[in-house]
């Protein structure tokens, strides 16, 4: 499979010469001021979740922890380092989540996992989400943190992502009426310890498969080049090892569970933002079945600052901006080739629509779903992977590169 000369997102310089002070100050001020505002108008817990989102954005950027690029280089060239890092992330998260979710509380607060039905809507939604990952140039988390990191192309993807999410919310009632299994929790079905053992075994099998296929293709395991930075400088300015990013994301997702009472999610906020915009344009959004529940109606009518997912998403963008500025790599490129822009729009729409149908994205359905022991998370993984295979094959038609090494942006 050959690629063309144009990448999905303009790669950032390999290493900055110095900290971008203006961008650092803007990001830092935005994080601090935002936390103060949210703490005052909502509550301190919501402010803590906003700061937690910023920490997630910083980790995602510094570790270049992407799902899209990791899957693409494995599909194209059997390089499995990124996939193995994802298995580490899922394993650590499962170890933390399973006992707590089985007990139903954490530090005295009720907690619940993200467990959803697995049916036609999940299979189709995850499949088109996978295509969208490769055309849009990122997943849900990747779109947010690369926007914060300065990728102007991903602004196009994000706008289409939000639009697709709103359309998906409008259509979801039709999709959920199609054949589906009920909510199935591995924790409830097999028990927390047996269920955990099953999941850890599957993670190990997937990791071993990537090792076998990579060695068969390359004769050895390929790893990223050594970082030019060490110690505290590397911690503050990156890049971080992928495994360090995997562990940090698992720990931060567990912190989200402790603060919010449920795991990390991203795309429900996009549906909320898109629906608010649609309502402002005159659409009768309140009549959509998606917004019929009292809690949903309150979210639609209220401020996005009251929505946990929204404040965490905003925090991710600012955290990634801070990381990019500290790394000296915040350098937006405003010129986007036409075919690349078209792919961003198509990919973003598929991402948004697919995420609503599949009850989540690579974070809410894949990461948090599997960590919650939800069968639908595993169904999402399989369907989305096949979507990525097709999406990877489609990239050259839009002038997008199918690279043999992970992109610096992680997307």
Express each pLDDT in 200-214 by its tens digit. 999 999 999 999 999
User: Three-class SS of residue 119?
Assistant: strand
- Segment (H or E) for 183: strand 180-183
Q: Which residues, at least 6 apart from 25, have a Cβ–Cβ distance to it below 8 Å? A: none
Q: Which residue has the higher pLDDT, 59 or 11?
A: 59
Q: Tell me how crowded residue 163 is: count the other CB atoms within 10 A of its CB.
A: 20
Helices 242-260, 81-103: inter-axial angle, 10-degree rounding: 20
Q: How many CA atoms within 13 Å lie on the side-chain side of 42?
A: 21
Strands 117-119 and 109-110: unpaired
Q: Which residues contact 205 (CB under 8 A, 6 or more apart)?
A: none
Instruction: State the Cα–Cα distance between residues 114 and 186, nearest whole angstrom.
Output: 12
Alpha-carbon span 14 to 204, nearest angstrom = 32
Number of domains the chain contains: 1
**295 pLDDT above the threshold of 80:** yes
Percent of the chain at pLDDT exceeding 90: 79
Give ∠ CA 263-269-275 in degrees, rounded to 5.
Answer: 150
Model confidence at 13, pLDDT cuts 50, 70, 90, reads very low
36 occurs within a structural domain:
yes
pLDDT value of position 285: 96
pLDDT of the residue at 15: 45
Q: Is the pLDDT of residue 253 over 90?
A: yes
Whether 407 is covered by a domain: the verdict is no
Residue 408 belongs to a domain: no
Greater model confidence, 66 or 359: 359
Question: Residue 181 is inside which H or E element, if any?
Answer: strand 180-183
Q: Is residue 27 included in any domain, yes or no? A: yes
- Across residues 359-376, what is the average pLDDT? 97
Q: What is the pLDDT of residue 405?
A: 65
pLDDT score, position 10: 35
Q: What is the pLDDT of residue 5?
A: 30
The residue count for the chain:
411
Q: 185-204: string of b/e by CB count within 10 Å (b at 16+)?
A: bbbeeeebeebbeebbebbe
| Residue 326 located in a structural domain | yes
Instruction: Indicate the pLDDT class of residue 31, thresholds 50, 70 and 90.
Output: very high
pLDDT of residue 227: 74
Residue 5 lies in a domain: no
Host domain of residue 100: 21-104+112-223+235-398
Q: Which two tokens stand for residue 21?
A: 């002070």
Residue 4 counted as domain residue: no
Residue 408 reports pLDDT greater than 80: no
Pairing of strands 117-119, 180-183: antiparallel
Mean of per-residue pLDDT scores for the chain: 91
In a domain, 335, yes or no: yes
What's the pLDDT score for residue 3? 35
């Amino acid at each position: 499979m050959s690629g063309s000369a144009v990448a999905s997102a303009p790669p950032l310089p390999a290493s900055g010469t110095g900290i971008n002070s203006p961008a650092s100050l803007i990001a830092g001020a935005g994080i601090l001021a935002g936390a103060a505002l949210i703490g005052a108008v909502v509550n301190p817990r919501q402010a803590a979740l906003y700061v937690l989102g910023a920490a997630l954005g910083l980790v995602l950027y510094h570790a270049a922890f992407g799902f899209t690029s990791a899957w693409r280089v494995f599909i194209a060239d059997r390089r499995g380092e990124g996939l193995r890092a994802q298995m580490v992330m899922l394993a650590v998260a499962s170890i933390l989540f399973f006992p707590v979710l089985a007990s139903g509380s954490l530090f005295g607060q009720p907690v619940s996992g993200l467990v959803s039905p697995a049916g036609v809507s999940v299979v189709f939604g995850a499949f088109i989400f996978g295509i969208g990952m490769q055309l849009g140039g990122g997943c849900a988390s990747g779109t947010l943190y690369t926007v914060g990191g300065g990728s102007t192309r991903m602004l196009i993807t994000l706008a289409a992502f939000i639009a697709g999410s709103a359309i998906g919310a409008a259509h979801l009632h039709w999709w959920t009426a199609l054949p589906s299994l009920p909510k199935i929790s591995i924790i409830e079905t097999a028990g927390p310890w047996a269920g955990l053992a099953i999941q850890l075994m599957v993670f190990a099998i997937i990791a071993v498969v990537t090792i076998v296929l990579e060695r068969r293709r390359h004769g050895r395991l390929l790893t990223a080049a050594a970082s030019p930075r060490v110690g505290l400088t590397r911690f503050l300015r990156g890049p971080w090892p992928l495994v360090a990013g995997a562990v940090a994301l698992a720990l931060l997702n567990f912190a989200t569970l402790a603060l919010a009472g449920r795991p990390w999610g991203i795309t429900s906020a996009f549906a909320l933002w898109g629906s608010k915009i649609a309502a402002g344009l005159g659409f009768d959004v309140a009549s959509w079945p998606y917004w019929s529940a009292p809690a949903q109606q309150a979210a639609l009518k209220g401020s996005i600052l009251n929505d946990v997912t929204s404040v965490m998403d905003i925090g991710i963008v600012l955290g990634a901006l801070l990381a990019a500025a500290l790394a000296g790599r915040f350098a937006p490129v405003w010129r986007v080739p036409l075919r690349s822009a078209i792919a961003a729009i198509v990919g973003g729409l598929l991402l948004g629509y697919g995420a609503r149908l599949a009850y989540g994205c690579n974070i809410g359905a894949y990461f948090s779903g599997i960590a919650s022991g939800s069968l639908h998370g595993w169904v999402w993984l399989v369907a989305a992977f096949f979507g990525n295979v097709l999406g990877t094959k489609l990239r050259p038609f839009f002038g997008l590169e199918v690279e043999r090494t992970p992109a610096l942006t992680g997307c």
